[in-house]
Structure 1
Amino acid sequence: MASAVSGLEPSALWNNFAALSLIPRPSKQEEQVLAWLQEFATSRELEWQQDETGNIVMRRPGSGGGESAPMVVIQSHVDMVCEKNSDVEHDFTSDPISLLRDGEWLTADGTTLGADNGIGVATALALLEMKEDAKLPPLECLFTVDEETGLTGAFALDAALLQGRTMLNLDTEEWGAICIGCAGGGDSQISLPVSYEGAPSDFLSFQLAVEGLKGGHSGVDIHEYRANAIVLLASVLVPLAEMGTRIVSVQGGDKTNAIPREVFATLLLPPEAMADAQIAVAERTESLRREYGTLEKGMRVSLMGLEDAPPECLSAKAQGNLLGLLRTLPHGALKYSHTIPGLVETSNNLASVAPVDGNYLVVCSSRSSIMEALEDIRLRIASMAKMCDAITTRTGTYPGWQPNPDSPVLKRLKRIYAAQLGEEPEVGAIHAGLECGVIGERAPGMDMVSFGPTITGAHSPDERVEISSVEKFWDLLLELLAELAEA
């Protein structure tokens, strides 16, 4: 695996990333990587602390003339989104990530790469390993847990751990962009009661599958109008239901912050409707291909026969409620910002559907930079659910991060970027949740910016990091820290 990063600069950063990729670190299951970080700190005789949630802070004294400078917080999260292609066997709780170099990009073999936010973690570790005469201010590197499934680490952060009041978040995924604000958000968990009845004895059993979609981050990529597998499946089910098709089960999507890439439904079809069903699926598939064009080149919609006939299916009422709910719930960018051109203001991701404990659980992840708009879309979702006899529970609400264009660290970073690159950086906000919003509430007065190298396809097996942008990002970070060492 080390060969995938051999010869890449900065070598310390890449070597740390390769080492990190050997260690399983799914969200909410970070025990192994936290133990590894503790060993990293102990073996290098670094001062470190850990709070009850698992968040770790490692400190390095200032050096190279920066001994008396104010403390700077370097922040990243240790967990990663665990997604793989359906034909890949990989256990994220035990298997290492297999790194592959593809020209100017580093990617993984059929799984998420974990560059989000492993590159940030590796960067912090490389800073902590720098020579004793490096020009650096005092650093405290904050490694948070469970960012990807609820910002849990940030919410439960013991703010007493942090001494610094300038923070550099390393979780932005576009080189040349400096983030100074983010959306707030929250989930809506819809519990739909269902009943079952005996399956018609002469009906044929089939699986309807939607696969091969791009997926991606439900905030950062939502403006690209990538296809949602659940939305597509529901649209295919409509003509089938009109032919008397009965639904046995529907399941797809498993991450609230990922656009669903695949979904599967087990169906029972009347024998006399088989030919028409095949034609309807083919026609709807062709219509979807025209709609999404080259955006979803890998799209596959299939209707395949099954040998075993299930003994029961959803009742007519339950089937109508489930299909009506999936067809009604919004998905995608719902409104754009009036103040920041091109920025999605409000969105919703129809994230998952699955049978759970005798009911169907449908989960939506909503985001908005306007908290009133977030409240409105969640109320609308609850109203839609109620019309289908479902109950909605709100979870995972998190605050946004209000931009501060007069931020002192932002002014320094913009000036250094322009001097190094000969052009101005793009300063703005993103339509996704960053820990900055939560940490800013936990540690009032924190001056924050977020930046990083280019990462595409985050939260999907297409995730990759641009190698050249990592070195540029590192050089920019070192120059900023050298200047902060003089403060």
Structure 2
Amino acid sequence: MASVDSRGSELPTVANNSQIVEQLGEPASVWLYFSQLSQIPRRSGCEADVLRMLEEFATERQFECRRDAAGNTVISRPGSGTGREAPTVVIQNHVDMVCVKGDTSRHDFSMDPIRFVRDGGWGDDWLTADDTTLGSDNGIGVAIALSVLDLPQEASLPPIEALFTVDEETGLTGVQKLDPGLVTGRTLLNLDTEQWGEICVGSAGTGTTEILLPVHREAPAGDAVCMQLEVSGLLGGHSGAEIQCDRANAVKLAARAARRLLAAAPGTRLVDLAGGELRNSIPRRAAATLLVAGRDCGAALQAAVDASRAAFLAEYGTVETALQLSWREAEAPPAGGRPLCGDSASRLLSLLSCLPHGVHKYSHSIPGLPETSSNLAVVEACGGEAYRVTTTTRSSVPDALESVRDAIEATATLCGGRAERRPAYSGWQPDLASGLLARTRAAYAEALGREPRIKASHAGLECGVLSGLLPGLDAVSIGPEIRGAHSVDERVQVSTVAECHRLVLRLLEGLTERRPAQGDARG
């Protein structure tokens, strides 16, 4: 099955990917589908080409394929073997991926295939990408679902509805627009958990807040030079899965360093501060542009840079081993080199300094689980007269989530900005009496030789939204070992992909027996 883009042109195959896939072994079908998927650009909101691939897959196998107005797609495979009369099982994954690349990467996520790298410094059991995110989140789950759909017709399987959602990584917006009539099953396997050996039964709710801060600019001094202060080399990572790791936030560090430099040389002016890429990623790079009047303050500014670097390394150097703080002449000054007036610069830096970032509270009932957190995700200029700041707040307690967003809105107001709250999506409440959980637990214990860990996640999962849309839904989330999601360090452990695939098949085999299923729309 050749992959084509939205214009009908065949997408290039990455030869090195094919060679690596051959070396990965079983399950060969999963690695083949993941390789095909990795050739198709699939940034959130730009999933047309991958949806076309799914439609072609269904057509070639004469499976029913349904799609709602948002793009969410279901491929239905009838029950086969001993599972012909069993209740329908939904296998759910999202098709979009987080698109993050290294500081020097020239990768174009709108057209370039993802290039696989075996090992990448992590060991032979890991697959990663060439200085970009890999897309194993949630591409491996998509590949497992396609592999299940493609099993021989004589295989014993219950009726399968493979649900492929869109636009998950920008705030679960695709699944929130799901047409409930698209899905008849009420037993759901979500394959978006990233820790092998764990069954996820709950997740946090999430709300994004955008702040618009008006600013004013002034004319630059005639003899001034634009300099760039850049924080780079940070780990970044998923703002739900890794917020508790206390990694540095590049936007926070850039604001701290800029304040120090402005204090060291009072004639210096702030031109710009920008950083972060995505609402659900911890910023790994940020840069401040400053207008330096004359050369006589150079020593003071360099001393401030060195002091900031030393402070950051003292605070984060044990974890952020590649942290860099550079100071150099700006090649292409933003805003035409026009600096912010003193009041605007002060309000912008105060806002970035005061906005919350990190874990606010840990769960009292589940040790080590963040209950409420915030991520200061992105700061960017909107033309020359305003800045947009994006924050993401997560909590398993709805009132606590909104309380933090109250504080964010109050901070924005005090700094002269206006906060707009996007509607928060609901968390997924654990059901420890779930029949599907009991089956999954038994199958997992058989595969592992020990009891799996039952957990809730601080990251958002679509199961919470689906539970609200599909009454009576019984859901669990499992998946292979994926680390560094939403960063260039994203990698999947090869051996756990095979184990996860076997677990899914074992579960489906156990679900072939005819039994009453609460809320099963098939009756």
Range of TM-score over shorter length = over 0.9
Of 322, 329, 337, the residue aligned with 1:305 is 329
Q: Does 1:288 align with 2:344?
A: no
Change beyond 3 A, Cα 1:351–1:396: farther
Of 272, 278, 290, the residue aligned with 1:267 is 290
Amino acid corresponding to residue 376 of structure 1 in structure 2: S
Cα distance in 1 between the residues matched to 2:423 and 2:112: 29
Q: Does 1:250 align with 2:311?
A: no
Amino acid corresponding to residue 404 of structure 1 in structure 2: D
TM-score (norm 1): 0.98
Unaligned ranges ≥5, structure 2: 1-16, 515-523
Is the CA contact (8 Å cut-off) linking 1:74 and 1:140 kept in structure 2? yes
Amino acid corresponding to residue 369 of structure 2 in structure 1: L
Cα distance in 2 between the residues matched to 1:4 and 1:422: 30
Partner of 2:214: 193
Cα distance in 2 between the residues matched to 1:322 and 1:284: 19
Shift in Å, 1:308: 6.5
Amino acid corresponding to residue 429 of structure 1 in structure 2: A
Amino acid corresponding to residue 49 of structure 2 in structure 1: Q
What is the DSSP-based 3-state SS (H/G/I as helix, E as strand, rest coil) of the residue aligned with 1:265? strand
Of 168, 181, 187, the residue aligned with 1:160 is 181
Cα distance in 1 between the residues matched to 2:186 and 2:363: 30
What is the DSSP-based 3-state SS (H/G/I as helix, E as strand, rest coil) of the residue aligned with 2:144? helix
Partner of 1:2: 18
Amino acid corresponding to residue 420 of structure 1 in structure 2: A
Is the CA contact (8 Å cut-off) linking 1:5 and 1:101 kept in structure 2? no
Cα distance in 2 between the residues matched to 1:353 and 1:372: 26
Cα distance in 1 between the residues matched to 2:378 and 2:337: 25
Amino acid corresponding to residue 172 of structure 2 in structure 1: L
Change beyond 3 A, Cα 1:338–1:307: closer
Cα distance in 2 between the residues matched to 1:305 and 1:275: 15
Shift in Å, 1:463: 0.5
Cα distance in 1 between the residues matched to 2:260 and 2:177: 48
Is the CA contact (8 Å cut-off) linking 2:226 and 2:337 kept in structure 1? no
Cα distance in 1 between the residues matched to 2:37 and 2:420: 36
Is the CA contact (8 Å cut-off) linking 1:353 and 1:362 kept in structure 2? yes
Matches within 5 A, 1:136-215: 136-215=157-236
What is the DSSP-based 3-state SS (H/G/I as helix, E as strand, rest coil) of the residue aligned with 1:296? coil
Partner of 1:219: 240
Partner of 1:23: 40
What is the DSSP-based 3-state SS (H/G/I as helix, E as strand, rest coil) of the residue aligned with 1:417? helix
Q: Does 1:328 align with 2:354?
A: yes
Cα distance in 1 between the residues matched to 2:321 and 2:35: 31
Change beyond 3 A, Cα 1:349–1:156: same
Cα distance in 1 between the residues matched to 2:327 and 2:432: 53
Q: Cα deviations across residues 99-150 of structure 1 (Å, max 9, x unaligned)?
A: 1111110111011100000001001000000011212111000000000002
Q: Does 1:70 align with 2:87?
A: yes
Matches within 5 A, 1:415-426: 415-426=442-453
Shift in Å, 1:269: 2.1
Cα distance in 1 between the residues matched to 2:29 and 2:367: 38
Is the CA contact (8 Å cut-off) linking 2:156 and 2:512 kept in structure 1? yes
Partner of 1:317: 343
What is the DSSP-based 3-state SS (H/G/I as helix, E as strand, rest coil) of the residue aligned with 2:485? coil
Of 461, 479, 491, the residue aligned with 1:452 is 479
Is the CA contact (8 Å cut-off) linking 1:150 and 1:396 kept in structure 2? no
Partner of 1:231: 252
What is the DSSP-based 3-state SS (H/G/I as helix, E as strand, rest coil) of the residue aligned with 1:428? strand
Q: Cα deviations across residues 266-304 of structure 1 (Å, max 9, x unaligned)?
A: 111243221111111112112211211231111111010
Partner of 2:418: 391
Of 390, 404, 416, the residue aligned with 1:363 is 390
Partner of 2:52: 35
Greater CA drift, 16-25 or 202-211: 202-211
Amino acid corresponding to residue 110 of structure 2 in structure 1: T
Cα distance in 1 between the residues matched to 2:344 and 2:327: 22
Is the CA contact (8 Å cut-off) linking 1:455 and 1:464 kept in structure 2? yes
Partner of 1:349: 375
TM-score (norm 2): 0.92
Q: Cα deviations across residues 401-450 of structure 1 (Å, max 9, x unaligned)?
A: 00000010000111111122111111010001111111111111100000
Greater CA drift, 301-310 or 180-189: 301-310
Greater CA drift, 102-111 or 270-279: 270-279
Amino acid corresponding to residue 45 of structure 1 in structure 2: Q
Shift in Å, 1:307: 5.8
What is the DSSP-based 3-state SS (H/G/I as helix, E as strand, rest coil) of the residue aligned with 1:197? coil
Backbone CA RMSD of aligned residues: 1.1
Greater CA drift, 304-313 or 170-179: 304-313
Of 93, 96, 111, the residue aligned with 2:113 is 96
Of 68, 74, 80, the residue aligned with 1:57 is 74
Is the CA contact (8 Å cut-off) linking 2:271 and 2:337 kept in structure 1? no
Q: Does 1:12 align with 2:12?
A: no
Amino acid corresponding to residue 22 of structure 2 in structure 1: S
Is the CA contact (8 Å cut-off) linking 1:22 and 1:95 kept in structure 2? yes
Cα distance in 1 between the residues matched to 2:202 and 2:423: 19
Cα distance in 2 between the residues matched to 1:473 and 1:67: 24
Amino acid corresponding to residue 322 of structure 1 in structure 2: L
Partner of 1:467: 494
Q: Does 1:406 align with 2:433?
A: yes
Cα distance in 2 between the residues matched to 1:217 and 1:232: 18
What is the DSSP-based 3-state SS (H/G/I as helix, E as strand, rest coil) of the residue aligned with 2:157? coil
What is the DSSP-based 3-state SS (H/G/I as helix, E as strand, rest coil) of the residue aligned with 2:282? coil
Is the CA contact (8 Å cut-off) linking 1:328 and 1:384 kept in structure 2? yes
Amino acid corresponding to residue 474 of structure 1 in structure 2: H
Shift in Å, 1:200: 2.2
Of 155, 160, 166, the residue aligned with 1:134 is 155
Cα distance in 2 between the residues matched to 1:308 and 1:96: 30
Of 76, 81, 95, the residue aligned with 2:98 is 81
Q: Cα deviations across residues 363-417 of structure 1 (Å, max 9, x unaligned)?
A: 1000000000001000000001111010000115210000000010000111111
Cα distance in 2 between the residues matched to 1:273 and 1:458: 42
Cα distance in 2 between the residues matched to 1:63 and 1:342: 43
Change beyond 3 A, Cα 1:307–1:151: closer
Amino acid corresponding to residue 249 of structure 1 in structure 2: D
